[in-house]
Amino acid sequence: MKNVCLFCIVFLFLSCGESIKEKAQETLNKGGEVVGETATEVLEGMREGMDQSLECDLVLSEELIKAGVSKGKFEVVSDSLGGSNNVLTAYLIFNKDFSDTLYAKAYSKKDLEVGRSLVVVSAKAGDAAYYDFKFDKRTYIEVKSRIELGKR
C-alpha cells in the first residue's frame, strides 16, 4: 500500500511538477530580488550614516578662500609605509591662479595638534586636482577630528 501511494505521489508530482517548479522558481527569484534590493538599501543607509558620524572636518583658512581655493571630496587613508590614517587626500578647486605651499594641520577630537604636512601647489584658474598631504607615519588622524588647510 505504501508503495502504491508513493508511486501515485511521484507520478502526480512528475506530471505537473514542471509547472510547479517553474512557478516556485519564479516566486523565489522575485522574493530574492526584493530581499536583495532591501538589503542593499539598508547597507547603503548604514554606510552613509557611519561615514557622516565618523568623518573628519576639513577646514580651509580664510586666506585660502580669498585666494580662490575651495574643497571638494576628501578622505583620510593609510600610507603604504606602515602608517595608519596618516594621509589626507583632498580634491581642491582653484577659481583663481594659485602658486604657493599649502600646509595641513591635523587636530585630535580633543583639539590637540597631532601632525603637519606641506604640499607645493601650482594651479591655473579653473583647475582642480587631488592632493595628498602625507603626515608622519606615527600620526593617526582620528575619526571626528579636524584638519586645517592654509597657505604657508
Grid coordinates belonging to 125:
584658474
Q: Is the pTM of this model over 0.75?
A: no
**43: pLDDT strictly greater than 60:** no
Residues 10-39 have pLDDT tens digits of: 655 656 556 666 766 776 677 666 665 655
DSSP line for 35-47: HHHHHHHHHHHHH
**114: pLDDT strictly greater than 60:** yes
Chain centroid to Cα 68, Å, comes to 27
Q: What are the CA-CA distances from residue 145 to residues 5, 33, 57, 59, 148 (Å)? A: 73, 40, 6, 11, 10
Grid coordinates belonging to 101:
605651499
Residues 45-59 have pLDDT tens digits of: 444 443 333 589 999
